[in-house]
């Protein structure tokens, strides 16, 4: 995702120049010829204009315009709403993570659909996710667990997926291939599953297992 700082622009030429610069940056990070690039091209050409908001501190209200608008001679700070482009970047990142999941699943000998479902439940494919308990990355590894699995950088997607898939595979082996118990152990810990003699009576863990199994059965 590209986050641009606030800046001051004077006149229509400066605004158009800045927009072209932003579009150029986005085009450089989106692969050519795919659906995201096509969608971006539509935005740039004005088929579905990207809305921007021009805020003039000396005027009342906010003036909304598009890249193709001729009414751009407004001085003052400009706040751009790039929700469409941010969604494209987010979706592109998700596709890249899913491709990496396929690679790691083969390397670790684990079911790709299961690994994908766990990543979706844990972080919704966000490699920068951090939970309130301190779990990190795609598979939400706790710091101690990450170290035990040899993960140096939990926010590195490949390292996180490799470590998390190893741990998930360990749980599957420990619980004789029982996916439900392995998932419960991934969420609540193998000790909790062993003490309960099954899925622990923990609402979060029950919902976690149910959600992933439901996604697998779709």
Determine how many CB atoms are found less than 10 A away from the CB of residue 142. Answer: 15
Residue numbers annotated as active site? 122
The pLDDT assigned to 78 comes to: 38
What's the whole-model pTM score? 0.62
Q: How does strand 8-9 pair with strand 62-65? A: unpaired
The pLDDT assigned to 22 comes to: 61
Q: Which residues pair with 136 in a beta bridge?
A: 130, 141
Q: What is the 3-state secondary structure (H, E, C) of the chain?
A: CCCCCCCEECHHHHHHHHHHHHHHHHHHHCCCCCHHHHHHHHHHHCCCCCCEEEECCCCCCEEEECCCCCCCCCCEEEEECCHHHHHHHHHHHHHHHHHHHHHHHHHHCCCHHHHHHHHHHHHCCCCCCECCCCCECCCCECHHHHHHCCCCCCCCHHHHHHHHHHHHHHHHHHCCCCHHHHHHHHHHCHHHHHHHCCCCCCHHHHHHHHHHHHHHCC
110: CB partners within 8 A, 6+ apart: 165, 168, 169, 172
Per-residue pLDDT of the chain (218 residues; tens, 9 = 90+): 334 444 444 455 655 666 666 666 655 555 555 555 555 455 444 444 434 343 444 444 443 444 444 443 333 433 444 455 566 657 888 889 999 999 999 999 999 999 999 999 999 999 999 999 999 999 999 999 999 999 999 999 999 999 999 999 999 999 999 999 999 999 999 999 999 999 999 999 999 999 999 989 87
The pLDDT assigned to 90 comes to: 79
Determine how many CB atoms are found less than 10 A away from the CB of residue 200. Answer: 21
* Topology (CATH) of 109-216: Lysozyme (1.10.530)
- Return the domain boundaries, the chain: 8-81, 109-216
Backbone angles phi, psi at 136, to 5 degrees: -125, 145
Considering Cα of 195, then 200, then 204, then 206, what sign does the dihedral take? Answer: positive
The pLDDT assigned to 93 comes to: 85
């Amino acid at each position: 995702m590209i986050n641009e700082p606030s800046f001051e622009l004077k006149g229509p030429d400066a605004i158009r120049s800045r927009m072209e610069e932003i579009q150029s940056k986005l085009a450089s990070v989106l692969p050519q010829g795919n659906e995201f690039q096509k969608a971006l091209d539509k935005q740039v050409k004005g088929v579905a204009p990207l809305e921007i908001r021009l805020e003039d501190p000396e005027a009342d209200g906010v003036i909304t315009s598009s890249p193709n608008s001729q009414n751009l001679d407004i001085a003052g700070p400009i706040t751009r709403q790039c929700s469409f482009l941010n969604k494209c970047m987010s979706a592109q990142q998700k596709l890249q993570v899913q491709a990496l999941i396929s690679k790691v699943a083969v390397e670790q000998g684990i079911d790709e659909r299961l690994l994908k479902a766990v990543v979706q439940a844990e972080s919704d494919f966000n490699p920068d996710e951090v939970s309130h308990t301190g779990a990190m990355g795609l598979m939400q590894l706790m710091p101690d667990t990450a170290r035990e699995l040899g993960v140096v950088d939990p926010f590195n997607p490949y390292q996180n997926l490799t470590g998390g898939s190893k741990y998930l595979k360990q749980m599957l082996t420990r619980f004789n291939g029982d996916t439900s118990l392995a998932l419960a152990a991934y969420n609540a810990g193998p000790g909790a599953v062993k003490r309960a003699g099954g899925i622990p009576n923990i609402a979060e863990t029950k919902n976690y297992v149910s959600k992933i199994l439901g996604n697998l059965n779709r």
